[in-house]
Amino acid sequence: MSSLHLELKDDDPWFVEEKIFKILVNYLQDPTASPAATAQALDRLFPANRPDQDQPADEPREDPGSFLWHFWGVVHNVAQQIPYTAPEHDRLAELIKALKGLSSQTKTVYMASWDQAFDLWGDLPMLGPTFRELYDRMVSLNDEEEREHWQSLNAYAARLTRDGSADLILFAKYAIEGLLEEDLEHGLVGDVPGAILECRMTVAAEWVIYCGQRLVAQEEDGIGTENWQKCKARFSNVSDKASMSPQTREIAQKAKQVMEALQLR
């Protein structure tokens, strides 16, 4: 069994959120649990698929957009509670991949806000917008818990992008741009700025390790030759600094090796 400690983090959760959270926790805590079977259990919570016995008699079924917004909110919040080094990140990515490949009883869902129909679950509708909303709320890295959540959220996004479950490569560019900011190169004073550097180093390294091939492309996805070389130099410098934690030095070294193995077109 996994030693993860996960919380719903809601004083008054909606009953559907509680069900989603319970399914995710049971799956992540049991390494033998099937991603396919778990994906099916999640699919049965979709309002049009939900059995009558699981729907409170005094509560109308919600619209699909509302369900999907809350659904991905629970998934993302669970993801950011998983330490970025934990194997459960790969387990969660396997589940999302299984969900994407699931043939649901409800084939499409119409989203009025977009005036567009999406495949359920092939398009994983609302994953991107809900991820972006959570990402934009995490603007400060001065708190240790916030830094841990930031690392975990990016580790999760990098794996989804690696697997082709979602295209979140834009956040890889943000991570590398953040690592290359001048204020991280000069004038670091005290523990907090150093901790922020280590956090940004870890996040950028995760993206390089899992999605490096996408990032070297001289296309819209890529980060460009100059930033690629600067990033590699930053990893090289940090991997030799005794002031950095062994964990940060190790992941920086691994990212540097990945970059050296990839060829810029």
- Give tens-digit pLDDT for 125-134: 999 999 999 9
Any idea which of 44-48, 76-80, 119-123, 213-217 has the lowest mean pLDDT? Answer: 213-217
Check if the beta carbon of residue 225 is closer than 8 Å to that of residue 264.
yes
Reply yes or no on whether the pLDDT at 158 is more than 60. yes
pLDDT tier at 185 (50, 70, 90 boundaries)? low
- Give tens-digit pLDDT for 220-239: 777 888 899 999 999 998 86
pLDDT tier at 55 (50, 70, 90 boundaries)? very high
Cα(165)–Cα(96) distance, integer angstroms:
7
For the chain, the average pLDDT equals 91
| Beta carbons within 10 angstroms of residue 55's beta carbon | 15
Reply yes or no on whether the pLDDT at 217 is more than 80. no
